[in-house]
Structure 1
């Protein structure tokens, strides 16, 4: 009987980590492994649970805390615990060590958070030596005081070839300052003409929606973008800090190119003018110029750059290759797979 691989996270909503965990669980299943997603704390209904149910991936929610996790690990004896996010990383490493379970931790965030979350981030990085370490970009790996394996985020390539793309520019992500939804609203002023769509929710939404004054259509949070990429011609990533955003990979896999600031792992993903566009970090006029360049292309030229984006994902960021690299990390950590 195949022993399970547990994917641990502490989550009350859907974001990049949650999308990555769903993608990883699907990839592990396709590779003949038995993943189980474990929520450290039960926050009630969760869009990731619906996505896991639809994919046939088992999940469970714990009552929170170190003791409950340690008890469940001792009872379930997974082949390995793979943790994601500050709190899950910290408690998961300790609980796995106490239970005698191999453990690996992934580092996703490119920002340096402030306040209490900043303390979690600091503790997370400095205790990372208790586990095998995975970073989604070289920049994130360099921030760690321990050596980490760089395994970029990955996605499955949709079977269907992309169709014609509308003259629509989208924001996809949490409405929080580090993701820069205010900058996206400013781009709608700087580059009039295309239609602007925003997918996501968060504490900044009301202020950004008021500032946009009707120039951006706000759709709110959606359980996934698979059914919406056909509405999007270009994904604009306006973040102030980044790791390797899964939304960028999903967009490119669907034939939607990305225009972004050259932050985090994005320069490793996008080649400016070939399969998307990159602007210097924080240079909003430069990013606006990239959006205007895309909007000025005719339909065949926009389709060609979208096709090039899809080729990039197929060549370097496909699900099978990413899961193979993670399985090697698991085995080196001591997992009997």
Structure 2
């Protein structure tokens, strides 16, 4: 198994890191050379990522919940490199790889400081980050880490041609993500109240689900967690990301790849992604400015909206495709 690249994460549910690992694993599987094996640091039972990897023919396994399980597996099977994703996988993965003599690299995805135990893990993650080459998905995240740090954005599959989207009598605006404070679902509900002329669809689950649903306006629909985002994107005309913290969200990249423009606060890697007319950006936490951007989009002609959609698709196709992303990572796998 010495030619395998192990992609390590600690995961209970599907999110941006999990989607990134899926795209990375399937991208490596489609190319000649070392193949990827996704390693779950702990086994939490059925998981959407496991199902998707099975469907794609990508190998995965879940380790026993033991502090020594990863170190034992590394020493016994000698993968060519361990690539960690997320703070818990990063901390344990770097320490275990160093002890086992296995090359290791870590990608840092999170742009929020975390609370409670998560804040402690984030601090330990940064403290131990010197044990491996570091990759950040945005300059803002890179600035929080010991230097040097390579900034390599997330990437997604994207077709050369933008999917067609029919005009609708009522625009459909979407939110895709965890219903937690840092993602701003409460702000999305406020926008739905401000703009009754549009339909707002919220895809996701999390601790704020009940609060967002309480007294929600009639034009806001909560769909819960979506297992198949490919079926969701054709239902939307605009993705809104009113987050309080961000890295470089996979949802934004996937929306743009599907020809759905993005409205967001300028956090993490979003200003680079959405700049130069590829999206709509408001200053961080400036909710009136975000609402003004949405109002302008709603008032725009269909031709103007389609032009923004084409610019969004073109940006992702040119700079955030799988081939470009794998090319940026390849030197880390060949060290």
Normalising TM by the smaller chain, what interval? over 0.9
Map 1:242-321; keep pairs closer than 5 Å. Answer: 242-271=246-275, 274-321=277-324
Residue number among 237, 242, 250 corresponding to 1:238 in the alignment: 242
Map 1:59-138; keep pairs closer than 5 Å. Answer: 59-138=60-139
- Counterparts of 1:329 and 1:323, CA distance in 2: 10
Aligned 8 A contact 2:193 2:217 in 1: no
The residue that corresponds to 2:201 in the other structure is 197
- Counterparts of 2:162 and 2:312, CA distance in 1: 12
Q: TM-score, normalised by structure 1?
A: 0.95
Q: TM-score, normalised by structure 2?
A: 0.96
Structure 1 unaligned spans of 5+: none
The residue that corresponds to 1:183 in the other structure is 187
Aligned 8 A contact 1:82 1:103 in 2: yes
Cα deviations by residue, 1:42-63 (Å, 9 ceiling, x for unpaired): 0000001111111111110111
Cα deviations by residue, 1:129-178 (Å, 9 ceiling, x for unpaired): 10111100011000012321100001110355321254100000001100
Q: Secondary structure at the match of 1:23?
A: helix
Q: Secondary structure at the match of 1:252?
A: helix
> Displacement, 1:211?
3.8
Q: Secondary structure at the match of 1:219?
A: strand
- Counterparts of 1:40 and 1:64, CA distance in 2: 7
Map 1:162-177; keep pairs closer than 5 Å. Answer: 162-165=163-166, 166=168, 167-177=171-181
Q: Secondary structure at the match of 1:288?
A: helix
- Counterparts of 1:64 and 1:222, CA distance in 2: 28
The residue that corresponds to 2:10 in the other structure is 10
Query: Any runs of at least 4 consecutive aligned residues in structure 1 with deviations exceeding 4 A, and if so which?
Result: none
Deviates more, 1:40-49 or 1:203-212: 203-212
Q: Which has the higher contact order (CA 8 A, sep 6+)?
A: 1
Structure 2 unaligned spans of 5+: none
- Counterparts of 2:97 and 2:213, CA distance in 1: 44
Aligned 8 A contact 1:66 1:95 in 2: no
- Counterparts of 2:160 and 2:267, CA distance in 1: 30
The residue that corresponds to 2:58 in the other structure is 57
- Counterparts of 2:44 and 2:216, CA distance in 1: 32
Q: What is the aligned residue count?
A: 331
Deviates more, 1:176-185 or 1:21-30: 21-30
